[in-house]
Amino acid sequence: MDVIILQLLNGLDKGSAYALIALGLTLIFGTLGVVNFAHGALFMLGAFCAVTLQRILSLSFETIDPTKTDFLGNPAKIKTPYVESWFGPELGSSIIDWSVPLAILFAIPIMIGIGYIMERGLIKHFYKRPHADQILVTFGLAIVIQEVIKQFYGANPIPTPAPDMFKGSFDFGTLLGFDPNAVIYPYWRLVYFFFAALIIAAVFGFLQFTTFGMVVRAGMADRETVGLLGINIDRRFTIMFGIAAAVAGLAGVMYAPINSPNYHMGMDFLVLSFVVVVVGGMGSLPGAVLAGFLLGILESFSSMNQIKQILPGIDQIIIYLVAIIILLVRPRGLMGRKGVMED
């Protein structure tokens, strides 16, 4: 039992990342009808927002402390971050410590801006072109973004620690009456899961309970009619693209402490997120979320030792296998709507 719960929990954090990226992909596909291969790159950009903020906050100046000497006998140089000198050492160091959560605030405007520019500058010209062209141009864009990041940050993963408070693990098992140390789960992954749930709820709430969201949903159902009613649907869809980019970016920001960001992390997630979208059903938002968590949990279960002994290596291919089976048995995906990409 404890093993099952442990795997369930392990699946949740990966599943949350899949769900968030797939949600953004589906938003873009559902509104604009564009297949965005650069969405993984947006996820990666989010993670690098966290890296950048951490670097900015730890910018420091050097002072010479004559009372101490380093091992060569020279007066020791002490680095003090600017933030600490402005806000005092205690507040300053805790600001640096909390840079990843703070990066959320930093990333939202940046990602919305990037999404906006991307849609207006590039994607806009591809609405009437075939899907193959959309795939190709966004694939090219993904390569470009990836390489630019590589130029600035290098090819190595950059460790981005979570705040001290969330380091270490949480003994989940004692809560449920298992032996201590049976179910141990890092705090940050728990945070990630709740954060993802919050974002997903926010996106759904936004679409369901605001006038803006209502118009967008109407536009998803029938773009032409909404346009004929005198509503500038294109503008709203552009904003939705920005929001989708922000969702991917936030997923990336919070993922940075779990997996040190490197320039190709987006591509690794992209393929899987596409599979998630297809399994969930093209254009279905609840489907994307459901499939994201489902596949994340499935992946983590298949990496259990007991299962690996029977079917070695199943954890590497399970997601693809499931996707192939679902596409053949239920071509519309788990919750796909009728009439979306039915050709």
Partner 1 sequence: MLGLEKKDTSLLIVVAILTMCAPFILNPFPTDSAMAQFNAGYPDLMQRFVIFGIFAIGFNILFGLTGYLSFGHAAFLGIGSYSAVWMFKLLGYNILPGIFLSVITSGLFALLIGYISLRRSGIYFSILTLAFAQMSFALAYSVLTPLTNGETGLQVYNSDPQYFHSDAMPNIPHLFGQEMQSTFKLSMGGWSFDFNTGYYICALIMLVMFYLAIRIFRSPFGLMLKAIKTNQTRLNYTGLNSRPYTLAAFVISGMYAGLAGGLMASMDPLAGAERMQWTASGEVVLMTILGGAGTLIGPVLGAGFIKYFENIFSKINDTVLHQWFAFLPDGIEDFLIAIVHPFVGKGWHLTLGLMFMAIVIFLPGGLVEGGQKIARKFRGGKAKDTTATTDSTPAE
Q: Which residues bind partner 1 (CB under 8 A)?
A: 35, 122, 125, 129-133, 135-137, 139-144, 146-148, 150-151, 267, 271, 274-275, 278, 282, 312-313, 316-317, 320-321, 323-324, 327-328, 331, 341, 343
**How far apart are CB 135 and partner 1 at their closest, in Å?**
6
**How far apart are CB 273 and partner 1 at their closest, in Å?**
11
Nearest of 220, 280, 273 to residue 247 by alpha carbon: 273
Give the span between the Cα atoms of 23 and 160, in whole angstroms. 25
If one counts every other C-beta atom within 10 angstroms of the C-beta of residue 177, the result is: 7
**How far apart are CB 320 and partner 1 at their closest, in Å?**
4
Give the span between the Cα atoms of 244 and 254, in whole angstroms. 16
**How far apart are CB 148 and partner 1 at their closest, in Å?**
7
Give the span between the Cα atoms of 257 and 97, in whole angstroms. 12
Nearer to partner 1 (CB atom), residue 1 or residue 144: 144
Nearer to partner 1 (CB atom), residue 183 or residue 278: 278
**How far apart are CB 150 and partner 1 at their closest, in Å?**
8
Nearer to partner 1 (CB atom), residue 70 or residue 133: 133
Nearer to partner 1 (CB atom), residue 43 or residue 274: 274
Give the span between the Cα atoms of 148 and 56, in whole angstroms. 19
Nearer to partner 1 (CB atom), residue 95 or residue 267: 267
Give the span between the Cα atoms of 113 and 245, in whole angstroms. 9
Question: What's the token pair of residue 187?
Answer: 């705090």
Question: What's the token pair of residue 336?
Answer: 């796909």
Question: What's the token pair of residue 112?
Answer: 């919305």
**How far apart are CB 315 and partner 1 at their closest, in Å?**
9
**How far apart are CB 217 and partner 1 at their closest, in Å?**
22
Nearer to partner 1 (CB atom), residue 32 or residue 35: 35
Nearer to partner 1 (CB atom), residue 79 or residue 308: 308
Nearer to partner 1 (CB atom), residue 10 or residue 146: 146
**How far apart are CB 146 and partner 1 at their closest, in Å?**
8
**How far apart are CB 336 and partner 1 at their closest, in Å?**
11
Nearer to partner 1 (CB atom), residue 70 or residue 147: 147
